[in-house]
Amino acid sequence: MRIAAAIAFLQMRRWGHQWLIVTCWFGVVIWVGYVMNMTVFADLRYTGTALPVFGWWLYDIVYITPFLAIPYLHTVNREIFSD
């Protein structure tokens, strides 16, 4: 779905822009769920690891792209997309 949306977005179609926003929200949902999953019982999950929670955040933080892409896509000039 996201691949199709991205292709349509590059072709500057309206539905590609809309579906890119929708699939970005999927990413937000997954990110929040993953953070919860890894934070609850973190004491058990990270026993014996070198940089327990900090190291995991370092690994996970780059998955925040949807949080940046959603405001970006919402503020793009929609007039230039074809319906």
Minimum distance of other proteins from residue 48's CB (angstroms): 3
Q: Does 21 bind other proteins (CB under 8 A)?
A: no
Alpha-helical regions (H) of 1-83: 2-10, 14-39, 42-45, 52-60, 65-74
Q: What is the CA radius of gyration of the chain?
A: 17
**Which lies closer to other proteins via its Cβ, residue 12 or residue 29?**
12
* Site map (CB under 8 A) of other proteins, residues 49-68, x = contact: x---------x--xxxx--x
Q: Does 69 bind other proteins (CB under 8 A)?
A: yes
